[in-house]
Amino acid sequence: MVQALLEDAEDQQATDTTVRIWLSKLKDVASDAEDLLMDFTIRDSTVYTRNASEVTKILKVLETTIDEGFRLNLREGSMVHREWDGRETSSFVVESEVYGREEDKEKIVELLLSCKATQVGKASSISIVGMGGIGKTTLAQLVYGDERVTQHFDVKVWVFVSNQFDVKNIMVAVIESVTKEKCRILNMDALHSAVWSLLHRKRYLIVLDDVWIEKPEDLDKLKPLFRGGIDGSKILITTRSRKVAFMLESPSFSCHLNGLSEDACWSLFVQRAFQQGEEELHPALLPIGQQIVRKCGGLPLAAKALGSLMRFKREIREWLFVRDSELWNLDECESGILSALRLSYFHLPPHLKRCLVFCSIFPRHYEIKKDKLIQLWMAEGLVQSSSRKPPEDIGNDYFNNLLWMSFFIEIKRCDNGVVMGHKMHDVIYDFVQSVAGLEYAILDCQLLAPRSFRQIRHSSIVCNFKSTVIPIELCDAKHLRTLLLFSGGTFEELPHECYSNFKYLLVLDLCGSNLVDIDASIGHVSCLC
Segment 210-221, tens digit of pLDDT: 988 767 777 777
Same domain, 190 and 309: no
Same domain, 202 and 219: yes
Residue 80 has pLDDT above 70, yes or no: no
Same domain, 242 and 282: no
Q: Could you list the residue range(s) of the whole structural domain that residue 465 is in? A: 437-527
pTM of the predicted protein model: 0.82
Q: Is residue 186 part of a domain?
A: yes
Same domain, 229 and 164: yes
Q: How far is CA 273 from the centre of its chain?
A: 27
- Write down the pLDDT at residue 11: 63
Same domain, 143 and 238: yes
Where is the domain boundary, 313, 347, 381?
347
Number of separate domains in the chain: 4
Residue 373 has pLDDT above 80, yes or no: yes
Same domain, 448 and 509: yes
Q: How far is residue 278's CA from residue 281's CA, in Å, rounded to a whole number? A: 6
Same domain, 107 and 231: yes
Q: Is residue 21 part of a domain?
A: yes
The C-alpha angle with vertex 12 and arms to 6 and 18, in degrees rounded to 5, equals 90
Same domain, 158 and 35: no
Using CA atoms, how far residue 141 sits from 176, 266, 286, 452, 485, in Å, is 19, 22, 31, 48, 47
Q: Is residue 1 part of a domain?
A: yes
More reliable by pLDDT, 284 or 40: 284
Residue type, 453: F
- Write down the pLDDT at residue 486: 81
Q: Is residue 398 part of a domain?
A: no
Same domain, 316 and 180: no
Where is the domain boundary, 70, 105, 124?
70
Same domain, 113 and 153: yes
- Which helix (H) or strand (E) segment holds residue 72: the answer is none
Question: Quick one: three-class SS letters along 467-518?
Answer: CCECCHHHHHCCCCCEEEEECCCCCCECCHHHHHHCCCCCEEEEEECCCCCC
Q: Among residues 490, 236, 481, 501, which one has the least CA distance to residue 382?
A: 481
Q: What is the mean pLDDT of the chain?
A: 82
- Write down the pLDDT at residue 15: 59
Tens digit of pLDDT for each residue in 142-173?
999 999 999 999 999 999 988 777 888 888 99
Q: How far is residue 204's CA from residue 155's CA, in Å, rounded to a whole number? A: 5
Tens digit of pLDDT for each residue in 457-478?
898 888 765 555 666 777 778 8
Q: Is residue 365 part of a domain?
A: no
CATH code (residue 230)? 3.40.50.300
- Write down the pLDDT at residue 164: 74
Same domain, 119 and 65: no
Q: Is residue 303 part of a domain?
A: yes
Using CA atoms, how far residue 300 sits from 146, 257, 307, in Å, is 21, 12, 10
Where is the domain boundary, 287, 313, 347?
347
Q: Is residue 497 part of a domain?
A: yes
Same domain, 309 and 328: yes
Q: Picking from 31-40, 283-292, 510-519, which range would have the lowest pLDDT averaged per residue?
A: 510-519
Q: Picking from 131-135, 250-254, 383-387, which range would have the lowest pLDDT averaged per residue?
A: 250-254
Q: Is residue 85 part of a domain?
A: no
